[in-house]
Amino acid sequence: MGDFIPLFILVLALIAILLRADFVLTVIYLFIAVFFLGQWWSRRSVSGLSAQRVFTPRAFLNEKVPVSLQICNASLLPVAWLQVHESLPVGLAVDESLSQVISLGGKGQVQYDYVLEGRKRGYYPVGPLLMHSGDLFGLASEQEFVYPPDHLTVYPQIIPLKQVKLPSHSPLGTLRHNQPVYEDPSRVLGKRDYVAGDSLRRVDWKSTAATGRLQVKLFEPSIALETAIFLNLNAEEYDLKSRFDASELAIVVAASLANWIVGLRQSVGLATNGTDPLLGGATPGAPQAPHPIPPRRGRGHLMRILDILARIQLAATFPLGELIQRETVRLPWGTTLLVLSPHLDEALFDGLFQARRAGLSAVLIPCGPVANFEAARSRAEHFGFPLYQVLSERDLDLWRQ
């Protein structure tokens, strides 16, 4: 479109030269000024554009997240027209898409407020914000400005659990236990008369002085529940038909168990063979499995686990048995392994048996349909591993009572 101006200027110049008309030069000046200043204005005003997106980057399932998007023009020159388009992912329900054409004055700003709803767990890009602008006359090509996306993490569903019978051999914890071998000297249950053979360290001298007979302290048994969740997200180990549902159910169970354990002020860790889109692999652009999270306590640690569970994806990676063999050496003695896997094969049971010999205990929680389930159950019974199959969320009612 701007090509006609140079030609037209040439024609005017010819008229000016041939007919000695001075005023034509003024017209030529006008066209040249419009041509160059119009383009300069467009480039300059776009260079002053900036944007800012403000929202809470984490949300729980079905939570509404208000987002405030502010676009500012730092330049004194107004932006004649600006086409803005905010790309939003399909997984986040939005009332209406953000796409509009506006005009921004010099030092002007505009703010858009919209609400996202996390209906599905995941790691969603909010944006990018695409902005197009151009000059008033269409002489220059349009300018594009891209504001990079921010990300919203939607945590998986967490089902509140009340009573989950998990075995533990970690003494000196804060949870009550039946086995007297886990007596905790800091938790005094009561007193009784001294019997020959009792250690003198257990004598309660104050009671002895009061009663006139030797009294010894009784200690309450307690355990610590150090837990490591092993979540299998190797796509090849899932049944093709129920792959998606079963893997999502496993993630929900993992999140619920982690939440329950942290609620008891116990430590929990996470190891999984799924892929985290935030982590790059050996092949550029290929995601890799996240590093296992060692057992720790606290809400902050729980948030870290939930972050990974929000992002983690099913992928063809490596068997869970390999992960168990690799990671159990780092776990402290007495840790309970919670194995969430739909595929219970020989290699897995071997790994778990080795883990038991190292002082760890294991609980099998297959989520979704399991091939040869009866064989797997009998094997688990043989090894003494508790097994709780979860086919749907309703099966978790067992632990909600």
Partner 1 sequence: MASPMDMGQSFRQNERLATLVNYGVASLMLVCVVVAILQQAAILAPGWNAGYLLPFCFILSLESMYTHRSLDRQTWLDPEWYLYRGTEWVVILVMLKLVMYLVNGLDGLLAEIRLWGRDFLNSFFNNEFLVVAGIAFVVWILANFFSRELAGLEGDEKLLAAERDSGVIVQRSAIRMNLINLIVILGGAITFMTALQSLVYQLRGPEAVAPPTSGWNVLAYFLLGLLLLSLTQFSILRARWGLASIPISAHLGRRWVTYSLVFLLALSLFVIVLPTRYSVGLLEILQIGLAFLIGFVNLLLLLFSLPLLLLLSLFGGLFGGSETLENFRPPVIPPPADPVGGSSWIELFKSLVFWVALVAITGLSFYYYLLQNRELAGRLRRVSFVNALVQFGGWLRGLLRGWRKTAGAALAAGMQRLRVRRNPEAGAGWGFVNLRRLSPRQRVIFFYLAMVRRGSERGSPRTPAQTPYEYSQALQANFPDVEEDVSGLTEQFVEARYSRHDITPERVGLVQRYWEKIRRALRKSLGRQGGQRKP
DSSP string for 84-146: EEE---TTEEESS-EEEEEEE-TT-EEEEEEEEEE-S-EEEEE-PEEEEE--SSS-SPPEEEE
First to last CA, the chain: 75
Restricting to residues 190-219, name those near partner 1 by CB under 8 A.
Answer: none
| Pick 100 or 211: Cβ nearer partner 1 | 100
DSSP state of 367: B
The binder of partner 1 chosen from 89, 107, 112, 165 (CB under 8 A):
112
349 binds partner 1 (CB under 8 A): no
Closest approach of partner 1 to the CB of residue 28, in Å: 7
111 binds partner 1 (CB under 8 A): no
145 binds partner 1 (CB under 8 A): no
| Pick 73 or 335: Cβ nearer partner 1 | 73
Q: Which of 123, 317, 157 is nearest to 233 (CA)?
A: 317
Specify burial of residue 156 (Cβ count, 10 A radius: 0-12, 13-18, 19+).
Answer: buried
Closest approach of partner 1 to the CB of residue 71, in Å: 12
115 binds partner 1 (CB under 8 A): no
Q: Which of 228, 180, 203 is nearest to 330 (CA)?
A: 228
Output phi, psi for 90, to 5 deg.
Answer: -70, -30
The binder of partner 1 chosen from 54, 76, 115, 136 (CB under 8 A):
136
- Mark 83-102 with x for binding to partner 1 (rule: CB under 8 A) and - for no binding: x-x---------xxxxxxxx
| Pick 32 or 358: Cβ nearer partner 1 | 32
Stretch that binds partner 1, among 129-137, 195-203, 235-243, 344-352 (CB under 8 A): 129-137
6 binds partner 1 (CB under 8 A): yes
**Residue pair 230/320 in contact by the 8 Å Cβ criterion:** yes
141 binds partner 1 (CB under 8 A): no
DSSP state of 312: -
| Pick 85 or 296: Cβ nearer partner 1 | 85
**Residue pair 288/276 in contact by the 8 Å Cβ criterion:** yes
| Pick 62 or 97: Cβ nearer partner 1 | 97
175 binds partner 1 (CB under 8 A): no
10 binds partner 1 (CB under 8 A): yes
Stretch that binds partner 1, among 130-138, 158-166, 201-209, 358-366 (CB under 8 A): 130-138
Output phi, psi for 19, to 5 deg.
Answer: -105, 5
| Pick 96 or 346: Cβ nearer partner 1 | 96
Kindly provide the b/e burial profile for residues 132-147, where b requires at least 16 CB atoms within 10 angstroms of the residue's own CB: ebbbeeebbeebebeb
Kindly provide the b/e burial profile for residues 283-320, where b requires at least 16 CB atoms within 10 angstroms of the residue's own CB: eeeebbbbebbbbebeeebbeebbbbbbbbebbebebb
Per-residue tokens: 203: 């004598």
The binder of partner 1 chosen from 37, 74, 146, 278 (CB under 8 A):
37
40 binds partner 1 (CB under 8 A): no
Closest approach of partner 1 to the CB of residue 7, in Å: 9
- Mark 64-83 with x for binding to partner 1 (rule: CB under 8 A) and - for no binding: --------------x-xx-x
H-only helix segments in 157-313: 205-211, 243-263, 299-311
Strand partners, 73: 49
User: Where do contacts with partner 1 occur on this chain (CB under 8 A)?
Assistant: 1, 4, 6, 8-13, 15-16, 19-34, 37-38, 41, 78, 80-81, 83, 85, 95-103, 112, 114, 134, 136-138
